Structure 1
Amino acid sequence: MTADDDIDDDLPLAGDGETHDLVLTAEMAGDRLDRALLPLLPDLSRARLQALISEGRLSLDGQPLTDGKHKARVGTYALTIPAPVSAIPEAQNLPLEVLYEDAHLIVVNKPAGMAAHPAPGTADGTLVNALLFHCGDSLSGIGGVLRPGIVHRLDKDTSGVMVAAKSDAAHRGLSELFSRHDIDRAYEALVRGAPKTASGTVTTRIGRSPHDRKKMAVLKSGGREAITHYRTLDRFGGDKPVAARVRCTLETGRTHQIRVHMAYLGCPCLGDPVYGSGAPHKGVVEALKGQSFARQALHAAHLGFVHPITGERLAFEAPLPADMADLLSTLESL
């Protein structure tokens, strides 16, 4: 399994940083797109512009463009340049719930509100900053300077079990496990309504939304295959459930996979600010307000894998965090 939601498709989402409107006139059109735009961006090199285009940070009339070799057309282009981040994250003494640790890897229960690693808009206070303090020099450079030790991630506002590498050998081994989908991972979600069938498998292609580059979406073509198995654990609200508790296991790990797939089924995660379109039942709205619940109700509850160095089978469970447990308790009374 590659990472999820949350997940390992850890590409930058267009929209972070500063957006520039670039107007190409008839006289400027006709050349390669990157060549035509470059005179309008004197502070950028052509290589940097090409990289930004390939990341999906350029659009024309709301449609993303990812190939700078295409012919430039007349119109107003929008280019988003991400905010700079520190090249070297700093160690920070942050609370860290360690579930397991040895010389090669560390497993933690990440709280909601903590990003996995520094990114535009989140320069510090991340899991990487906490791991650098906790692990010291043993983590330095493993897997890269900006994201040392990180082999998968959870969204900032998704809680639960994560593993990080403390040695190059462990990083290679864990990365191979994820790339082969040889990781057991299960998530619990509190969703609006309930799936029409109590259990099933969602198989789609997921990629960046052609309408909003800050979001992922189910696509008819393009993107990457995404497979989620789900099972409804509880329904709340009687014969016409207004909410449900769903356990999802991943066969692949695409960015925001569970959140996108739950929304695709018509039952997005409660509190999801990106994919939670549609108003929940009044009782659910009151439950969210009463608990001051302000994040997607998604938690990585289980992580299992074979230790890449020792060969030992490891499995870890993290109970629902207090905010989700309190919300669940309120939903059970509906």
Structure 2
Amino acid sequence: MPRLHQTSRELVASEDEAGERIDRWLAAKIPELSRSRIQALIKAGAVTSGGGTIGEAGWRVKPGRSYSITVPEAEEPTPRGEEIALDVVFEDGDLIVIDKPAGLVVHPAPGHETGTLVNALIRHCGDSLSGIGGVRRPGIVHRLDKDTSGLLVVAKNDAAHKSLSEQFADHGRDGRLHRAYLALCWGVPDRPSGVVDAPLGRSQANRKKMAVVSETLGRFARTHYHVEKVFADVDGHDFVSLMRLELETGRTHQIRVHLAHIRHPVLGDPVYGTGFKASARRLGEGAREALHHLRRQALHAAELGFEHPVSGQEMAFESELPADMAHLIAALEAPET
């Protein structure tokens, strides 16, 4: 294995900086490194002063004293890269925006060790990945479920990862981040626009599922919805809605659980919409066939906006509905003969 190259930085604390925690001080001095990355380097013995190693992140800096930090080159990733076709919407040296197809898992996990978006990005990005947390890997700052399609941004380096993570953690409250989804849902809400405000946590009955739970057991979650279009059943009654959804939080399965909670689950949802399987009988033959061939939840991440982590430029992207959802909508609109 080739020897890894490393870089060193020498910094001197001023009078005004005396007494600051060294991890916080270094993070302010070296913005391209996250504080957690610096803490890991301190733990690894990479920070020294006066010939001695500083092993505690809470060490207080002293005025006029010189501190050295050694940052090793990013290690090769595990998992390994794989040749998987990607729909790249935008890419530069700091990030990449992907239009993810349904069926593609974002990150390796038990049962999905290979064939993931991360495997594909490691191969696609190659040397442009300068490392996240010291490992040459893409920085996943948000995820889409395996069978949800649409836009996803991924960081290529620590600085981009730090900025994008902060934007997603804030969920757009500071105006930098914007996300919107389109979903086909059973039924029509009483109001054309509204808010689902219900805490989410692990289901007590099935730990693999999420559920609306009490505030003491769950985490705050809020979803805004607007009905874009309504489709009728074979008898002419309003029966399916095309909804536009925006998240104020980003909990696991949030949209799917919240829509099921208000009795308007996503069409095709195999986890949270199973109680509505019989509803397909009220669709026309073409719509029933299109729903059968969908074989996933009809949910698509259609809009993504954020502040570029380096340039500060406002970035905005839109993704058209994938063919399977577009075909289902066309079938829902088609008159039955």
TM, length-normalised to structure 1: 0.71
Q: Which residue of 2 aligns with 1:234?
A: 229
Q: For the Cα contact (< 8 Å) 2:186–2:266, is it kept in 1?
A: yes
- In the alignment, residue 226 of structure 2 is paired with which amino acid? R
Task: Map 1:8-27; keep pairs closer than 5 Å.
Answer: none
Q: For residues 296 and 150 of structure 1, what CA distance do their matches in structure 2 show?
A: 22
Spell out, residue by residue over 1:172-230, the C-alpha distance to the aligned partner (whole angstroms, 9 max, x if none).
00001111112200000011112221110111100101111110000123211111000
Q: For residues 137 and 251 of structure 2, what CA distance do their matches in structure 1 show?
A: 18
Structure 2 SS opposite 1:310:
coil
Task: Map 1:211-290; keep pairs closer than 5 Å.
Answer: 211-221=205-215, 222-237=217-232, 240-276=237-273, 277-278=275-276, 279-284=278-283, 286=285, 287-290=287-290
Q: Which runs of 5+ in 2 are unaligned?
A: 1-76
Distance 1:251 1:115, change over 3 A: same
Q: For the Cα contact (< 8 Å) 1:116–1:126, is it kept in 2?
A: yes
Distance 1:214 1:140, change over 3 A: farther
- In the alignment, residue 220 of structure 1 is paired with which amino acid? S
Q: For residues 204 and 333 of structure 2, what CA distance do their matches in structure 1 show?
A: 38
Structure 2 SS opposite 1:280:
helix
Q: Which residue of 2 aligns with 1:179?
A: 169
Following superposition, the deviation at residue 326 of structure 1 comes to: 0.2
Q: Which residue of 2 aligns with 1:297?
A: 298
Following superposition, the deviation at residue 284 of structure 1 comes to: 3.4
Structural RMSD (CA): 1.9
Distance 1:140 1:120, change over 3 A: farther
Task: Map 1:19-58; keep pairs closer than 5 Å.
Answer: none
Q: For the Cα contact (< 8 Å) 1:117–1:146, is it kept in 2?
A: no
1:135 matched to 2:142 = no
Q: For the Cα contact (< 8 Å) 2:185–2:267, is it kept in 1?
A: yes
Distance 1:144 1:200, change over 3 A: farther
Spell out, residue by residue over 1:299-332, the C-alpha distance to the aligned partner (whole angstroms, 9 max, x if none).
0000001111100000000000000000111111
Number of matched pairs? 248
Task: Map 1:165-176; keep pairs closer than 5 Å.
Answer: 165-176=155-166
- Decide which of 78, 83, 98 is 1:88's aligned counterpart: 78
Q: Which residue of 1 aligns with 2:191?
A: 197
Q: For residues 168 and 157 of structure 1, what CA distance do their matches in structure 2 show?
A: 28
Q: For residues 283 and 102 of structure 1, what CA distance do their matches in structure 2 show?
A: 48
Following superposition, the deviation at residue 251 of structure 1 comes to: 0.7
Greater RCO (Cα-Cα under 8 Å, separation 6 or more): 1
Q: Which residue of 2 aligns with 1:148?
A: 138
Q: For residues 83 and 266 of structure 2, what CA distance do their matches in structure 1 show?
A: 32
- In the alignment, residue 259 of structure 2 is paired with which amino acid? M
Structure 1 SS opposite 2:199:
strand
Q: Which runs of 5+ in 1 are unaligned?
A: 1-86
Q: For residues 107 and 194 of structure 2, what CA distance do their matches in structure 1 show?
A: 33
Q: For residues 163 and 128 of structure 1, what CA distance do their matches in structure 2 show?
A: 12
TM, length-normalised to structure 2: 0.70
Distance 1:146 1:233, change over 3 A: farther
